[in-house]
């Protein structure tokens, strides 16, 4: 039987509609809309596209977006000064620095500098610590999107074996913590994992966050499993996920396509995080 295709565009539209409603209620109560600032260093075309997409989505949700583009040569001290200024700005509820940044800048220094309450990407040590501790905080957007898709599709989570392929700070690691919090038994795989195909075949939930086009093959998938493809790979044949979609869809119980799967959820949860951050900040001052 063919897999149920989890439609990420529809799921993201639902999240964005919920956020828009929440933004209207926030504005009615506090007399201002949540503010989201995107900082970009340099003019990388992909970053440009992502930043424009985030600003447009924030505007559509009724937020106040702001884009700041700094020259490629910007030094750490200059960027720190800007972050400090935005940390102190009451109109700013969320900010993010588009990654990757030029070599002279340090991603860990940036993650440490942004105030944890405004770190809507959820990459700061404080927010990652909160995630590990199970405390409220900003949780990285893409893994949150995957969880929402699993919940909406009613994929059984309690006691399920989840295999997360990839251990990055922005996807694999936080994904594994979120699955664990939902009582999955979690295995995190990476480039040194032995016999990845056999391991994947034991997964009830298989999350691929690798960055290698179509690496996960149909015969790596346990019949009936939920296959969540985070990968976004630009190939000569167009955009491809980390999962060989057609093969895997024949075996899986649920599957996310690329494009139109997990991708749209990332921006949706950036907006959700910004609204949550605005509420936390407003709650702290009223």
What residues make contact with ligand NDP under the rule CB under 6 A? 142, 165-168, 170-172, 189-193, 196, 209-212, 230-233, 262-263, 266
Closest residue (Cβ) to ligand NDP?
168
Q: Is 173 a catalytic residue?
A: no
* Cα pseudo-dihedral 269, 275, 276, 277, rounded to 10: 110
Q: How far apart are CB 26 and ligand NDP at their closest, in Å?
A: 25
> Nearer Cβ to ligand NDP, position 31 or 192?
192
Q: How far apart are CB 215 and ligand NDP at their closest, in Å?
A: 6
Catalytic residue (one of 40, 51, 98, 144): 98
Q: Is 118 a catalytic residue?
A: no
Q: Note the helical H segments in the chain.
A: 8-30, 45-60, 76-87, 107-113, 125-133, 141-152, 172-181, 196-200, 245-249, 263-285
Q: How far apart are CB 56 and ligand NDP at their closest, in Å?
A: 16
Catalytic residue (one of 121, 229, 242, 276): 121
Radius of gyration for the chain, computed over Cα atoms and rounded to the nearest angstrom = 19
* Among 61, 30, 123, 128, residue whose Cα is nearest residue 271: 61
Q: Cβ–Cβ contacts within 10 Å for residue 142, how many? A: 23
Catalytic residue (one of 51, 54, 117, 175): 54
* Among 233, 210, 116, 99, residue whose Cα is nearest residue 164: 210
Q: How far apart are CB 188 and ligand NDP at their closest, in Å?
A: 8
CA distances from 194 to 198, 219, 244 (A): 9, 17, 20
Q: Is 104 a catalytic residue?
A: no
Q: Catalytic residues, which ones? A: 54, 98, 121
């Amino acid at each position: 039987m063919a897999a149920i295709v989890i439609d990420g565009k529809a799921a993201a539209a639902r999240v964005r509609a919920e956020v828009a409603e929440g933004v209207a209620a926030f504005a009615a109560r506090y007399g201002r809309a949540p503010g989201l600032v995107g900082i970009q260093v340099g003019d990388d075309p992909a970053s440009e596209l992502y930043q424009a997409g985030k600003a447009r989505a924030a505007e559509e949700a009724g937020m106040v977006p702001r884009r700041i583009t700094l020259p490629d040569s910007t030094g750490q001290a200059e960027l720190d000064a800007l972050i400090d200024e935005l940390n102190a700005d009451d109109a700013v509820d969320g900010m993010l620095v588009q990654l990757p940044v030029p070599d002279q800048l340090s991603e860990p220094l940036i993650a440490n500098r942004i105030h944890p309450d405004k770190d809507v990407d959820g990459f700061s040590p404080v927010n990652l610590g909160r995630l590990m501790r199970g405390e409220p905080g900003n949780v990285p957007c893409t893994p949150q999107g995957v969880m929402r898709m699993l919940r909406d599709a009613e994929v059984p989570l309690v006691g399920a074996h989840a295999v997360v392929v990839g251990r990055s700070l922005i996807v694999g690691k936080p994904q594994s913590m979120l699955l664990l919090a939902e009582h999955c038994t979690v295995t995190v795989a990476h480039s040194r994992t032995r016999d990845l195909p056999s391991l994947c075949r034991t997964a009830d939930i298989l999350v691929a966050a690798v960055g290698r086009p179509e690496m996960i093959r149909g015969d790596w998938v346990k019949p009936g499993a939920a296959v969540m493809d985070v990968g976004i790979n630009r190939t000569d044949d167009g955009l491809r996920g980390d999962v060989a979609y057609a093969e895997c869809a024949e075996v899986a119980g649920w599957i996310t396509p690329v494009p139109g799967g997990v991708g749209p959820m990332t921006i949706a949860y950036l907006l959700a995080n910004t609204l949550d951050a605005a509420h936390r900040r407003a709650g702290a001052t009223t």
